[in-house]
Amino acid sequence: MTKARDSIEDLKTIDANLAAKAPLASPTFTGNVGVGSTLLTTTASNMLQLGSTSNLAWYNQNDDELDISVNAVNNSGNKYIEAKAASQYIQYAGTHIFKVAASGSAGAAITWNTGLEVVASGKARAKNGLLFGTDTAAANALDDYEEGTWTPAFGRNGGSQPTVGYSEQVGSYTKVGNMVFLTGDISISSISVPDNGNLTITGMPFNKGSGHNPTGSFTCSEFNFTRARSQLVHLDSTKLGFLGQAGATGAGSWNWEEVSSLSGNESFRFAITYQV
């Protein structure tokens, strides 16, 4: 009987050991959970809180929003990371330092402090311009860069316009800040001139700014210019013209070349830089 009792006691010991090792049911909390000595006598004000309401960190889930704050009292505190269905933020003192727009949303982008962003195409954009070195002057910020094409055309400065047939008519431009670098290549195969008048080139992608009167270089063939040393000049803010001196020797005042300079077999290549 002694051995039987010993066997029963052994079974009880094994059963007790197994019961002690069995997993406990996960605890369920219906209120906020706080960790920290100051919370032993006070109630945690956030769902999960380390330290008091003004110390360490806290976590909250509000509707579709997740807030993880460090050393802050609430959503208007100094430092926190905020995740929403629409976007995600790293924020300091109420200002977004880093923002990720929702995937698939219009204009989805990663933004730093609302000024620098990487758009969906992978390109970086400085929304308020670029400064270089130690410069802090807003007026010195590079706020625009653009490349493109345009279509130069011959015309008349007012009145009835000539009818021109083109065998080549191409142009390109680069805009850096307020400076435009413009090139063009025109060849014509026919022209009908209803009325004579100042010859112009139209179609510029940007208007010239006031107070700036640049000249450009050109080369041409078959033109019948009647003035000496004609130069490519802005006739107004939207058109280019050809300004030359009156006499063949360079004497006399300057004036504009006319549409009658063209007969229908001309080629023209040019470049000009101007401010907008």
pLDDT tens for the chain, 276 residues: list them.
Answer: 555 555 666 656 666 665 555 555 566 666 677 776 555 556 666 666 666 555 455 566 665 555 655 544 444 544 555 555 555 555 555 565 555 655 544 455 556 556 666 666 667 777 778 888 888 888 888 888 999 999 999 999 999 999 999 999 999 999 999 999 999 999 999 999 998 999 999 999 999 999 888 999 999 999 999 988 899 999 999 999 999 988 767 677 889 999 999 999 999 999 999 999
Q: Residue ranges of the domains in the chain?
A: 33-140, 147-275
Distance CA(116)–CA(45), nearest Å, equals 36
C-alpha closest to that of 243 among 199, 205, 190, 275: 199
Distance CA(160)–CA(191), nearest Å, equals 13
Buried-exposed string 21-43: b where 16+ CB fall within 10 A, e elsewhere? eeeeeeeeeeeeebeeeebeeee
**Predicted structure pTM score:** 0.63
Kindly state the DSSP code that residue 159 receives in the 8-state scheme. S
Q: Would you state the pLDDT for residue 112?
A: 55
